[in-house]
């Protein structure tokens, strides 16, 4: 019976030996059935007893995160065995700390070395490129020296500088600077040089084809080699400053070709040496990380468990002798045995001789609400909890919503085809449950769908059933059993008319189509008229039944809490009001279906005499008398007028009963109590009783509200309650008409989609028609999925949710509780992992 | 006019079986109560929904209005109905 009402909870006091406390809490964390209360709410987080330990755990976690980051950077797979490691003993913490410290230091050192090496390597590669590229420039210069006379004739921009250089070289010292710069900085660099040196320098540049690795950020960057020729020391200083400003690295470049060649050879050998050293460092780093990757998940689990334990221990109170810790926790009564066992295990593990003491405490505080859920019921409970977590031990709507929710959804969504798509999707999710869970998707929308897979499955099943009843299959009907309507052979004359109404007298077989609507209505022009009458009535019938069910639930609640006064003054008038007016309406609907027929001999029961239920109902409430029109009786059965008046009078009388009954009874009861009290006190205990009263008042500030509530409050509360119920009955009944509206909208929309889209493809002939149909079908299928299944499904879902939250639950559900959140390693680890991702 | 025995019986027995008999056969366990409620509500909802649809067609007060070419096709495809067959016989 766990899902029908929340678990019975007990507040327990726990005395733990200081040595055993850690092990016991660890066992309780594995069990996950105790919610600890903070016993020092006014103590700052930094002044608690185990702050140091928590801080150490934080530090360890930081190191682990660093390790994890490095492992991810190298793309090493982390072994996640999924096995549950127990929380380590407190003394193991030091070992763990030492391990992590060592690993972190090693890694940092390796990283530092690697960085230095990489920087070195980068410099050498850049130098190599400079030597290679500048060689080209110098070669060019020599060529120009040779055929200077030729180029003098063909003065082009590019060669002006070269010639200038050559001139300068002849005149004497022409200096140059070579370096490497980021490629995107070249244009501003060039502009700056030109402006600052007034065009007296000459810049040549060449792009390095392969990207180089930046050692600090390890990004791949594109760079260019440049060489600047200039004359004079002043320009040299200026050029160097500009280079510095643009973060270009300058490298010494020898002037003579021989030196350059020598240098290039030297650089190449050094690069090779560096490469071997670098690869060795990388190997070492890799080895360290691979070793760490094997157990990093386990380490995370361990550290998180230790931290959680110390956090919990911080909630405890220290007793005066400092020898034992006092804890208070909420525990499900049926699990007390398991808690005892866990505590005993913890004591044994810690080697303490004194067993922990678990005391059940008396309390007036409201316990948390706890349901034992499985993967199937979880989704439905979440729907209810989204409205409000149930008050402790009150009737839970979730077990009923398992069926009524998909059913009401399906009444609005009824289409066999759409239901089939939904079912298949949900079935796929349910079948592949385990691999899909293991994937741990972070997409929020997917997680919502996946979390509600069982809801969607049931919604799909019921949609298929209601689709069968509505006889809608992608807006087309199935003629499974043969229509009961036919066009009589003899009435060929009807084809002279444009359209024809089949007369129920001679075109209808004797009994209805066995399952659902007759397929003939799908092709009828007055389909909407017929469907409106049918769906409106069905939604009223379902709505009234649903609401009566809700009122019956309130009876169950009152009986459970032994509130006789509520049964007498709330439930009885409520159910009378509901049945005498609204259930009577339902009965009228059924009566009309049975009593009136088209083929009868009695003219009074013919189709034109059938009264409108709505008008009858309005007349009933307004005490209007119907009038006889022709031979038609205004009433559907004998004595209806008197009976209806009786019903309305009784129902109206229920309103003052609801309004005044409860306050009056409470008033009487209090008077009686007061009399007894004064009788006792006049017997000579006046002073003492005053004291007792004061003590009571002080001791139970948060006690039973009902006994302390003032009389005015009770009256006002009851008035609001009554008005809400009476008006609610009317408006809620009307609200259930959304079942009709949405199902009609859904059917119409799918019909329009068929008529406007798919029919185009079905109409065109020849081979071209096949190709066209192929494309049209794709469009139709996409629209069906996106609009009819997804969007309409969503809207029907929301309307169903409203019908449950408002129309159904306001009859009995308070939803004023708070959820039970036990100390459990599973949930802590799970949330930590989700935060990480 | 009126109901045919067979479909009413079949459906009442079917959903009655689901809603009344199956709950007794649910195996014992922690979920027995919930399963019973599920079965009972399923039986009740489905039966009620079918019943409403059946009853509202039991005594039709209006007939479908169909276009004459549809009527012609109907006559050819679905036949002239049992009444005419009886008459011709």
With cut-offs at 50, 70 and 90, classify the pLDDT of residue A706: low
User: Which residues on chain A are in Cβ contact (under 8 Å) with B60?
Assistant: 504, 508, 598
Between chains, do A3 and B33 touch, taking CB under 8 Å as contact?
Answer: yes
Question: What pLDDT is attached to residue A703?
Answer: 40
Mean pLDDT of A344-366: 86
Q: How far A779 CA sits from the closest chain B CA (Å)?
A: 28
DSSP state of A198: T
Question: What pLDDT is attached to residue B50?
Answer: 95
Which region, left, alpha or beta, applies to residue A803 given φ > 0 means left and ψ of -120 to 50 means alpha? alpha
* For A605, nearest residue in chain B (alpha carbons): B61
Q: What is the pLDDT of residues A632-644, one digit of tens each?
A: 777 888 888 899 9
Mean pLDDT of A600-622: 81
Which residue from A411, A479, A607 is facing B61, i.e. has the nearest CB?
A: A607
* For A466, nearest residue in chain B (alpha carbons): B49
Question: Does B74 touch chain A if contact means CB atoms closer than 8 Å?
Answer: yes
Q: How far B83 CA sits from the closest chain A CA (Å)?
A: 7
Question: What pLDDT is attached to residue A141?
Answer: 65
Least confident residue range of A338-352, A585-599, A616-630, B26-40: A616-630
Between chains, do A500 and B68 touch, taking CB under 8 Å as contact?
Answer: yes
Q: What is the pLDDT of residues A557-574, one digit of tens each?
A: 999 999 999 999 999 999
Question: Contact at 8 Å (CB) between A78 and A300?
Answer: no
CA torsion angle A632 A634 A639 A643 (round to 10): 160
A790 found inside a domain? no
Question: What pLDDT is attached to residue A693?
Answer: 46
Between chains, do B62 and A400 touch, taking CB under 8 Å as contact?
Answer: no
Q: What is the pLDDT of residues A146-170, one digit of tens each?
A: 544 444 444 444 555 555 555 555 5
Q: How far apart are CA A532 and CA A526, in angstroms?
A: 10
Which residue from A482, A498, A507 is facing B68, i.e. has the nearest CB?
A: A498
Question: Does B76 touch chain A if contact means CB atoms closer than 8 Å?
Answer: no
* For A402, nearest residue in chain B (alpha carbons): B38
Question: Does B9 touch chain A if contact means CB atoms closer than 8 Å?
Answer: no
With cut-offs at 50, 70 and 90, classify the pLDDT of residue A192: confident
Least confident residue range of A7-21, A140-154, A360-374: A140-154
Question: Does B29 touch chain A if contact means CB atoms closer than 8 Å?
Answer: no
Structure tokens at A428: 């796929």
Which domain covers residue A305, as residue numbers? 50-313
Share of chain A above pLDDT 90, in %: 41
Between chains, do A482 and B70 touch, taking CB under 8 Å as contact?
Answer: no
Between chains, do B65 and A514 touch, taking CB under 8 Å as contact?
Answer: no
Question: Contact at 8 Å (CB) between A469 and B49?
Answer: yes
A78 found inside a domain? yes
Residue A778 pLDDT exceeds 90:
yes
Q: How many domains does chain A have?
A: 1
Cα dist. A80→A57, A92, A107, A423, A532 in Å?
Answer: 21, 22, 22, 34, 59
User: Which residues on chain A are in Cβ contact (under 8 Å) with B72?
Assistant: 487, 495
Q: Which range, A183-192, A692-701, A778-787, is most confident?
A: A778-787
* For A484, nearest residue in chain B (alpha carbons): B81
Share of chain A above pLDDT 70, in %: 91
Q: How far A418 CA sits from the closest chain B CA (Å)?
A: 19
Which residue from A4, A542, A600 is facing B33, i.e. has the nearest CB?
A: A4
User: Which residues on chain A are in Cβ contact (under 8 Å) with B67?
Assistant: 498-500, 525
Burial class (CB in 10 A: 0-12, 13-18, 19+), A106: middle
Between chains, do A399 and B33 touch, taking CB under 8 Å as contact?
Answer: yes
ipTM: 0.92
User: Which residues on chain B are in Cβ contact (under 8 Å) with A491?
Assistant: none
Mean pLDDT of A264-279: 89
Q: Which range, A13-22, A83-92, A238-247, A583-592, is most confident?
A: A583-592
Three state DSSP letters for chain B = CCCCHHHHHHHHHHHHHHHHHHHHHCCCCCCHHHHHHHHHHHHHHHHHHHHHHHHHCCCCCCCCEEEHHHHHHHHHHHCCHHHHHHHHC
Which region, left, alpha or beta, applies to residue A83 given φ > 0 means left and ψ of -120 to 50 means alpha? beta
Residue A469: which H helix or E strand, with range? helix A453-470
Q: What is the pLDDT of residues A41-77, one digit of tens each?
A: 888 888 888 888 899 999 999 999 998 988 888 888 8
A404 found inside a domain? no
Which residue from B1, B7, B63 is facing A501, i.e. has the nearest CB?
A: B63
Between chains, do B55 and A469 touch, taking CB under 8 Å as contact?
Answer: no
Residue A651 pLDDT exceeds 90:
yes
Residue A837 pLDDT exceeds 80:
no
Question: What pLDDT is attached to residue A351?
Answer: 83
Question: What pLDDT is attached to residue A504?
Answer: 82
* For A586, nearest residue in chain B (alpha carbons): B52
Q: Average pLDDT of chain A?
A: 85
Residue A704 pLDDT exceeds 70:
no
Counted across chains A and B, CB pairs separated by less than 8 A come out at 197
Question: What pLDDT is attached to residue B40?
Answer: 96
Question: Does B21 touch chain A if contact means CB atoms closer than 8 Å?
Answer: no
Q: Which range, A15-29, A148-162, A361-375, A405-419, is most confident?
A: A405-419
Return the closest-CA partner of residue A569 out of A708, A715, A701: A715
User: Which residues on chain B are in Cβ contact (under 8 Å) with A529?
Assistant: 62
Q: Which range, A137-151, A690-704, A808-822, is most confident?
A: A808-822
Question: What pLDDT is attached to residue A369?
Answer: 94
Q: What is the pLDDT of residues A449-467, one digit of tens each?
A: 999 999 999 999 999 999 9
A270 found inside a domain? yes
Between chains, do A504 and B63 touch, taking CB under 8 Å as contact?
Answer: yes
Between chains, do B78 and A482 touch, taking CB under 8 Å as contact?
Answer: yes
A502 found inside a domain? no
Mean pLDDT of A731-741: 96
Question: What pLDDT is attached to residue A366?
Answer: 92
Residue A143 pLDDT exceeds 70:
no
Between chains, do A495 and B72 touch, taking CB under 8 Å as contact?
Answer: yes
User: Which residues on chain A are in Cβ contact (under 8 Å) with B79?
Assistant: 486
Q: Which residue has the higher pLDDT, A245 or A765?
A: A245
Which residue from B3, B50, B65 is facing A524, i.e. has the nearest CB?
A: B65
Question: What pLDDT is attached to residue B81?
Answer: 60
With cut-offs at 50, 70 and 90, classify the pLDDT of residue B1: low
Between chains, do B64 and A407 touch, taking CB under 8 Å as contact?
Answer: no
Cross-strand bridge partners of residue A250: A179
User: Which residues on chain B are in Cβ contact (under 8 Å) with A599?
Assistant: 1
User: Which residues on chain B are in Cβ contact (under 8 Å) with A511?
Assistant: 2-4, 7, 58
Instruction: Determine the residue among B40, B64, B70, B80 to mutate to test chain A binding: the one whose Cβ has the most chain A Cβ atoms within 10 Å.
Output: B64
CA angle (A92 as vertex; A13, A77 as ends), nearest 5: 110
Between chains, do A510 and B57 touch, taking CB under 8 Å as contact?
Answer: no
Residue B15 pLDDT exceeds 90:
yes
Question: Does B13 touch chain A if contact means CB atoms closer than 8 Å?
Answer: no
Which residue from A402, A526, A594 is facing B62, i.e. has the nearest CB?
A: A526
Mean pLDDT of A333-361: 88
Question: Does B17 touch chain A if contact means CB atoms closer than 8 Å?
Answer: no
Between chains, do A400 and B37 touch, taking CB under 8 Å as contact?
Answer: yes
Structure tokens at A673: 């109590």
Question: What pLDDT is attached to residue A697?
Answer: 41
Between chains, do A537 and B52 touch, taking CB under 8 Å as contact?
Answer: yes
Q: Report if pTM > 0.90.
A: no
Three state DSSP letters for A802-815 = HHHHHHHHHHCCCC
A572 found inside a domain? no
A504 found inside a domain? no
Question: Does B59 touch chain A if contact means CB atoms closer than 8 Å?
Answer: yes
With cut-offs at 50, 70 and 90, classify the pLDDT of residue A700: very low
Q: How far apart are CA A94 and CA A390, in angstroms?
A: 45
Domain limits, chain B? 5-88
Q: Which range, A352-361, A746-755, B75-84, is most confident?
A: A746-755
User: Which residues on chain A are in Cβ contact (under 8 Å) with B54?
Assistant: 512, 514
Q: What is the pLDDT of residues A407-446, one digit of tens each?
A: 999 999 999 999 999 999 999 999 999 999 888 778 889 9
User: Which residues on chain B are in Cβ contact (under 8 Å) with A499?
Assistant: 65-68
* For A533, nearest residue in chain B (alpha carbons): B56
Structure tokens at A272: 């090779």
Which residue spans within A536-590 are E strands per DSSP? none
Between chains, do B1 and A600 touch, taking CB under 8 Å as contact?
Answer: yes
Question: What pLDDT is attached to residue A543?
Answer: 96
Least confident residue range of A455-459, A709-713, B12-16: A709-713
**Sheet order of strands, A249-251 included:** A202-207, A223-230, A175-182, A249-251
Q: What is the pLDDT of residues B16-63, one digit of tens each?
A: 999 999 999 999 988 899 999 999 999 999 999 999 999 999 888 888
Which region, left, alpha or beta, applies to residue A774 given φ > 0 means left and ψ of -120 to 50 means alpha? alpha
Q: How far apart are CA A87 and CA A30, in angstroms?
A: 9
């Amino acid at each position: 019976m766990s899902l029908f009402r929340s678990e019975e909870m007990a507040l327990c006091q726990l005395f733990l030996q200081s040595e055993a406390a850690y092990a016991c809490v660890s066992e309780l964390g594995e069990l996950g059935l105790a919610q600890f209360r903070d016993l020092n709410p006014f103590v700052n987080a930094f002044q608690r007893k185990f702050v140091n330990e928590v801080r150490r755990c934080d530090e360890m976690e930081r190191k682990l995160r660093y390790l994890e980051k490095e492992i991810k950077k190298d793309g090493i797979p982390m072994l996640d065995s999924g096995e549950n490691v127990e929380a380590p003993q407190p003394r193991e913490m030091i070992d763990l700390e030492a391990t992590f410290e060592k690993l972190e230091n090693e890694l940092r050192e390796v990283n530092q070395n690697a960085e230095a090496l990489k920087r070195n390597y980068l410099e050498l590669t850049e130098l190599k490129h400079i030597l290679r590229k500048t060689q080209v420039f110098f070669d060019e210069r020599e060529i120009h020296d040779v055929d200077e006379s030729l180029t003098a004739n063909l003065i082009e921009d590019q060669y002006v500088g070269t010639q200038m250089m050559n001139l300068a070289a002849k005149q004497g010292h022409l200096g140059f600077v070579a370096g490497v710069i980021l490629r995107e900085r070249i244009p501003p660099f060039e502009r700056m040089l030109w402006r600052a040196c007034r065009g007296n320098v000459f810049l040549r540049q060449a792009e390095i084809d392969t990207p180089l690795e930046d050692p600090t950020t390890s990004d791949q960057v594109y760079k260019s080699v440049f060489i600047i020729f200039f004359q004079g020391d002043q320009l040299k200083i200026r050029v160097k400053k500009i280079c510095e400003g643009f973060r270009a690295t300058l490298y010494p470049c020898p002037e003579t070709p021989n030196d350059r060649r020598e240098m290039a050879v030297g650089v190449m050998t050094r690069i090779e040496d560096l490469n071997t050293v670098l690869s060795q460092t990388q190997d070492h780093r890799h080895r360290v990380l691979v070793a760490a990757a094997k157990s990093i998940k386990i380490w995370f689990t361990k550290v998180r468990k230790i931290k959680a334990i110390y956090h919990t221990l911080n909630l405890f109170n220290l007793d005066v002798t400092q020898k034992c810790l006092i804890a208070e926790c909420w525990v499900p009564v049926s699990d007390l045995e398991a808690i005892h066992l866990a505590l005993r295990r913890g004591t044994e593990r810690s080697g303490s001789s004194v067993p922990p003491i678990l005391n059940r405490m008396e309390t007036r505080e409201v316990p948390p609400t706890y349901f034992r859920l499985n993967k199937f019921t979880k989704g439905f409970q979440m729907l209810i909890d989204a409205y409000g977590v149930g008050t402790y031990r009150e009737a839970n709507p979730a077990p009923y919503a398992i069926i009524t929710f998909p059913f009401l959804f399906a009444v609005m969504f009824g289409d066999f085809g759409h239901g089939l798509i939904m079912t298949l999707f949900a079935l796929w999710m349910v079948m592949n449950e385990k691999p899909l869970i293991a994937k741990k998707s972070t997409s929020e929308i997917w997680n919502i769908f996946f979390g509600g897979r069982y809801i969607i499955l049931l919604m799909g099943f019921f949609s298929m059933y209601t689709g069968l009843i509505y006889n809608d299959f992608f807006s087309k009907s199935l003629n499974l059993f043969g229509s009961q309507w036919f066009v009589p052979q003899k009435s060929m004359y009807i084809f002279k008319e444009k359209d024809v109404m089949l007369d129920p007298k001679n075109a209808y077989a004797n009994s209805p189509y066995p399952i659902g609507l007759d397929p003939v209505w799908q092709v009828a022009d007055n389909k909407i008229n017929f469907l409106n009458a049918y769906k409106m009535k069905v939604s009223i019938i379902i709505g009234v039944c649903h609401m009566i069910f809700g009122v019956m639930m309130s009876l169950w609640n009152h009986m459970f809490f032994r509130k006789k006064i509520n049964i007498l003054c709330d439930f009885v008038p409520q159910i009378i009001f509901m049945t005498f007016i609204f259930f009577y309406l339902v009965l009228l609907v059924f009566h009309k279906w049975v009593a009136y027929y088209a083929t009868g001999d009695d003219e009074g029961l013919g189709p034109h005499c059938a009264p409108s239920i709505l008008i009858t109902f309005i007349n009933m409430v307004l005490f209007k008398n119907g009038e006889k029109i022709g031979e038609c009786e205004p009433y559907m059965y004998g004595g209806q007028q008197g009976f209806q008046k009786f019903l309305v009078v009784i129902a109206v009388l229920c309103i003052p009963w609801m309004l005044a009954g409860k306050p009056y009874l409470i008033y009487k009861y209090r008077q009686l109590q007061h009399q007894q009290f004064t009788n006792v006190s006049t017997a000579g205990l006046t002073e003492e009783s005053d004291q007792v009263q004061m003590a009571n008042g002080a001791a139970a500030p948060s006690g039973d509200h009902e006994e302390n509530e003032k009389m005015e409050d009770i009256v006002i509360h009851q008035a609001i309650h009554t008005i809400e119920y009476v008006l609610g009955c009317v408006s809620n009944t009307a609200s259930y008409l959304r079942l009709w509206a949405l199902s009609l909208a859904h059917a119409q929309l799918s019909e329009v989609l068929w008529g406007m889209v798919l029919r185009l493809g079905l109409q065109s002939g020849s081979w071209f028609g096949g190709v066209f149909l192929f494309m049209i079908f794709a469009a139709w299928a996409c629209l069906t999925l996106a609009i009819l299944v997804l969007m309409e499904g969503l809207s029907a879902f929301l309307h169903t949710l409203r019908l449950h939250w408002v129309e159904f639950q306001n009859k009995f559900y308070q939803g004023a509780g708070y959820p039970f959140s036990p100390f459990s390693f599973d949930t802590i680890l799970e949330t930590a992992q989700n935060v990480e991702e | 006019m009126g109901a045919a025995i067979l479909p009413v019986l079949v459906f009442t027995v079917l959903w009655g079986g689901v809603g009344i008999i199956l709950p007794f056969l649910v195996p014992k366990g922690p979920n027995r109560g919930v399963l019973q409620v599920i079965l009972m509500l399923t039986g009740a909802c489905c039966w009620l929904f079918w019943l409403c649809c059946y009853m509202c067609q039991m005594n039709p007060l209006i007939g479908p209005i169909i276009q004459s070419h549809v009527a012609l096709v109907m006559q050819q495809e679905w036949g002239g109905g049992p009444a005419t067959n009886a008459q011709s016989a």
